[in-house]
Structure 1
Amino acid sequence: MARDKTRPAPRGVLVQDPCLVRTVWGAARVAAARGLEGTVGTSWEVSRHPHGESSVAEGPWAGVGLDAVLIADPEGCLGGHAMVRGAFLDAAEPLSVQVHPQEAYALAHEGDHGKTETWYVVDAEPGATIVAGTSAGSVEELETAVAGGALDGLLVRVPVEAGDLVHVPAGTLHALGAGVLAAELGNDSDVTYRFYDYGRMDGEGNPRELHVGQGLAVVDPSSRPEVTACGTSLGEGVAASVSADGYEAFVLDVPEDLVWDFGGRPAALMVVAGSGRASWDGGAARLASLSGAFVPAATGEVRLTGPMRLFCATGM
């Protein structure tokens, strides 16, 4: 598809209007940040996925869905690298105990990508935990526990607090706990298999669907999410980093002024503390608290002004 010549090439820090999803487990923090009443569970901040597409909030591409932007200039936006996805998850209640598939299984059975993800804990109530794997020694043990209603006894729960980084490889049994607000970056996918959902009902009063068979086909009982605290800088403002399948995620502390180059890769930015501005050759944008932005691969250097903390991922 030829690029739309009525607009300049998409470059810079493209702040997004998110796709907001009100879930049965959602809380009010993300909604309040946008001046909305009620609760929002998932806010798809940087996404081309059809299940929750974001759109450009301002500038010459304002109002255009992110997928259309990428289709209009695939080389400039992606540069031959993978797309990365960003969302906020705001949990008043625990999310379902779930697992995401690996790439080969997802492509063969779902027509979607596999899903590895990394969370940054933006806020956590005292005593908040996550499900971080299982003590089961085999898939068969896990299957027996699910069938017998004894899964809870095999779940590994670990405490989390604001500033923690949690890496969840595909195939890992996991769940975000009650009271946690997390920023999530990961593969361009939306495939989730639920093992257990606390008997909750959907909006029509029906039990939410479980996917035990698919989950057992992809789960790795030995896999544990990695939880690390952001602390000593790794250089140039980087407080923590994770290399994953298809992307690299890192936490970037921005003081009053920092020049950053994403290395010719597409990037998703999530503002997880403070607020600031971004400027580049040809434009500037305000970065509000709890907002997300997409940076096309061909953008080049970006000048960031804080103080703020960014949770970022670049496609591999």
Structure 2
Amino acid sequence: MVKQPIFLEPVFKERIWGGDRLHRLFGYHIPSEQTGECWAISAHSNGESIVKSGRFEGKSLSYLWEHHQELFGNRTEAKFPLLTKILDAKNDLSVQVHPDDHYASKVENGEPGKTECWYVIDCEPGAEIIIGHQAKTKQKFVEMIETGQWNKLLSRLKVQKGDFFYVPSGTIHAIGAGVLILETQQSSDITYRVYDYDRVDPDGRTRKLHLDKAIEVSNIPHPDNATAPLVNVYEGASIVTFVRANYFSVYKWEIQTSLSYEVTEDFLICSVIEGCGELKTGAGTYPFQKGDHFLLSNQIGRVEVEGKITVIVSHP
């Protein structure tokens, strides 16, 4: 039985739109001041999390999934199903869309599709996201893309700290400059770019667009995917349920003093976005702080969390 939390080492990705807030706000050692992505909990081959300490120190998350399924409720998926990221958008991300499982299985060598969701950790005043579009028919959608009517086509929303957005596959979307988000998603690295503001890289090259695929997989018209958070208040803490959907459920643990929680899910993915505290299990006491990411196995049973902490928690 594994009663300890499994702390994981993130992987960092430089991006043309990235910045340095992952270092400034979380203290991470990032590769440059254009670091856009922290792959916090990942078993994807493009960036694997490694266990920091304990019995499985030095092992990859995919190794645990393949060789210690008992930690994860003996689920049947071939690969670890989720990926948690923190994204620092110093500049606008490209306007993009992701395919669903059916399309990806046919076109992307067995890679799954990508449904995701965003929790806004922080943002600059006036920051925006793009989510959805105004075209009512595929013909109009294609026409507005071909004629560059981006301001008319794309739906923009102002955001603020604490906002949550559910972004199913097929949703046209983009994270705007000045937004720092935690993203929970299917474990997939497929992105179809629709528009990239005619940007060029340091060598003067534009980034590749994927218009044919994007047009094929986009939801037209754009459906309303808004979710209604459900808040449960306890003595010393509250738990906000943001979404319970096909691929994941996502929560926010807002702990003022303490929270007692029985892990009945197959496993929990936890990302500490504010504060510090201690996690107590049958095996001992484990300190943690802002920027830590860990797994709680279903073997752990009841956990006691103490401190003033905000944690984004998810499970398949």
Question: Aligned partners of 1:188 and 1:78: how far apart in 2?
Answer: 18
Alpha carbons of structure 1 residues 147 and 283: separation in structure 2 relative to 1, 3 Å: farther
Q: Which residue of 2 aligns with 1:43?
A: 38
The CA RMSD measured in Å over matched residues stands at 2.0
Alignment of 1:175-190 (within 5 A): 175-190=174-189
For the 8 Å contact 2:16–2:34, the answer to whether it is kept is no
- How much does 1:271 deviate? 1.2
For the 8 Å contact 1:132–1:224, the answer to whether it is kept is no
Alignment of 1:160-175 (within 5 A): 160-175=159-174
Q: Which residue of 2 aligns with 1:130?
A: 129
Question: Aligned partners of 2:294 and 2:163: how far apart in 1?
Answer: 21
User: CA offsets per residue over residues 36-77 of structure 1, 9 Å max, x none?
Assistant: 452310100001011121111122222221111211112322
Question: Aligned partners of 2:60 and 2:113: how far apart in 1?
Answer: 23
For the 8 Å contact 2:120–2:163, the answer to whether it is kept is yes
SS of the residue corresponding to residue 47 of structure 2 reads: coil
SS of the residue corresponding to residue 286 of structure 2 reads: strand
User: CA offsets per residue over residues 7-28 of structure 1, 9 Å max, x none?
Assistant: xx65532121111001010121
Instruction: Report which of the two has the higher share of strand.
Output: 2
User: CA offsets per residue over residues 108-153 of structure 1, 9 Å max, x none?
Assistant: 2111112111111000000001001101112221112212222332
Alpha carbons of structure 1 residues 279 and 79: separation in structure 2 relative to 1, 3 Å: farther
Segments of 5+ residues of structure 1 without an aligned counterpart are 1-8
For the 8 Å contact 2:227–2:243, the answer to whether it is kept is no
Alpha carbons of structure 1 residues 135 and 65: separation in structure 2 relative to 1, 3 Å: same
> Which moves more between the two structures, 166-175 or 142-151?
142-151
Supply the AA of the counterpart residue of 1:25. W
Residue 21 (structure 1) aligned with residue 8 (structure 2): no
SS of the residue corresponding to residue 118 of structure 1 reads: strand
Relative contact order (alpha carbons < 8 A, sep ≥ 6): 1 or 2 greater?
A: 1
- Given candidates 19, 34, 52, the residue that maps to 1:57 is 52
> Which moves more between the two structures, 280-289 or 179-188?
280-289
Question: Aligned partners of 2:170 and 2:87: how far apart in 1?
Answer: 20
- How much does 1:213 deviate? 1.1
Q: Which residue of 2 aligns with 1:107?
A: 105
- Given candidates 76, 85, 88, the residue that maps to 1:87 is 85
Question: Aligned partners of 1:265 and 1:147: how far apart in 2?
Answer: 46
Alpha carbons of structure 1 residues 10 and 50: separation in structure 2 relative to 1, 3 Å: farther
Alpha carbons of structure 1 residues 284 and 105: separation in structure 2 relative to 1, 3 Å: farther
SS of the residue corresponding to residue 26 of structure 1 reads: strand
Alpha carbons of structure 1 residues 89 and 74: separation in structure 2 relative to 1, 3 Å: same
- How much does 1:309 deviate? 0.9
Alpha carbons of structure 1 residues 25 and 10: separation in structure 2 relative to 1, 3 Å: farther
Alpha carbons of structure 1 residues 84 and 297: separation in structure 2 relative to 1, 3 Å: farther
Alignment of 1:1-316 (within 5 A): 11-32=3-24, 33-36=27-30, 38-80=33-75, 83-110=81-108, 111-202=110-201, 204-221=203-220, 222-226=222-226, 233-236=231-234, 237-315=238-316
TM-score, with structure 1 as normaliser: 0.89
- How much does 1:164 deviate? 0.8
> Which moves more between the two structures, 87-96 or 49-58?
49-58
For the 8 Å contact 2:130–2:154, the answer to whether it is kept is yes
Alpha carbons of structure 1 residues 78 and 88: separation in structure 2 relative to 1, 3 Å: farther
Segments of 5+ residues of structure 2 without an aligned counterpart are none
Instruction: Count the aligned residue pairs.
Output: 305
SS of the residue corresponding to residue 253 of structure 1 reads: strand
Question: Aligned partners of 2:87 and 2:223: how far apart in 1?
Answer: 22
Question: Aligned partners of 1:303 and 1:203: how far apart in 2?
Answer: 49
Alpha carbons of structure 1 residues 262 and 125: separation in structure 2 relative to 1, 3 Å: same
Supply the AA of the counterpart residue of 2:82. V
Question: Aligned partners of 1:224 and 1:40: how far apart in 2?
Answer: 32
- How much does 1:35 deviate? 4.4
For the 8 Å contact 2:265–2:315, the answer to whether it is kept is no
SS of the residue corresponding to residue 16 of structure 2 reads: coil
Percent identity, aligned pairs only, is 29
User: CA offsets per residue over residues 57-101 of structure 1, 9 Å max, x none?
Assistant: 122222221111211112322431663221100000111111111
